């Protein structure tokens, strides 16, 4: 036996240790950097509506695959890296009359005034689906602007419309 073939410990233990190390490394690699979704306090009906929405969301949004989020039971989802992050039951933003309402396939999304400004395309942006209840937000990294915004809103319109109730106002 050469010195390269010798490893300390019984062969079965070495295999278990190697397997456990591989599992821990794989877990660390997959959980590292998962987008965090803030918990929201919703009543039972809104929580159920958000769960319905999560079940209806597509595996791809704006050409990006769905990724894990933290915590696993969060009322949200994410796609891509950097991640597009959807939160169901989001807080209503502080807005004024300069904000825009963009309608994508029947869903009204409230957006800050710099959504379409050419000189603001290098900034992350958040939009809110104000036409449905509970409120849904979508954080869009600057990497996906400007074209990814419209694609993401179109990809999410069906699940939002099908899973959530229409709000009193379709757009502001």
**What gap in Å lies between CA 100 and CA 10, rounded to an integer?**
68
**What gap in Å lies between CA 139 and CA 169, rounded to an integer?**
22
**What gap in Å lies between CA 161 and CA 136, rounded to an integer?**
11
Per-residue pLDDT band at 47 (split at 50, 70, 90): very high
> For residue 76, what are the β-bridge partners?
87
Question: Is residue 70 within 8 Å of 34, Cβ to Cβ?
Answer: yes
> For residue 132, what are the β-bridge partners?
166
Question: What's the pTM?
Answer: 0.78
Structure confidence by residue, pLDDT tens digits, 62-84: 999 999 999 999 999 999 999 99
- Domain extent listing, the chain: 44-166
Structure confidence by residue, pLDDT tens digits, 78-109: 999 999 999 999 988 888 888 888 899 999 99
Average pLDDT, the chain: 81
Tokens of 77: 């989802």
């Amino acid at each position: 036996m050469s010195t390269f073939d010798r490893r300390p410990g019984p062969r079965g233990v070495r295999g278990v240790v190697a397997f456990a190390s591989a599992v821990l490394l794989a877990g660390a690699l997959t959980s590292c950097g998962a987008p965090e979704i803030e918990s929201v306090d919703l009543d039972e009906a809104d929580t159920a509506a958000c769960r319905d929405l999560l079940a209806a969301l597509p595996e791809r949004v704006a050409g990006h695959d769905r990724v894990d989020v933290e915590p696993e039971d969060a009322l949200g989802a994410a796609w891509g890296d950097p991640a597009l992050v959807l939160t169901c039951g989001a807080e209503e933003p502080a807005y004024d009359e300069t904000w825009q309402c963009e309608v994508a396939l029947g869903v009204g999304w409230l957006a800050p005034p710099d959504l379409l400004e050419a000189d603001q395309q290098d900034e992350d942006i958040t939009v809110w689906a104000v036409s449905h209840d509970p409120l849904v937000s979508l954080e869009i990294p600057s990497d996906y602007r400007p074209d990814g915004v419209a694609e993401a809103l179109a990809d999410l319109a069906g699940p939002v419309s099908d899973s959530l109730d229409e709000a009193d106002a379709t757009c502001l």
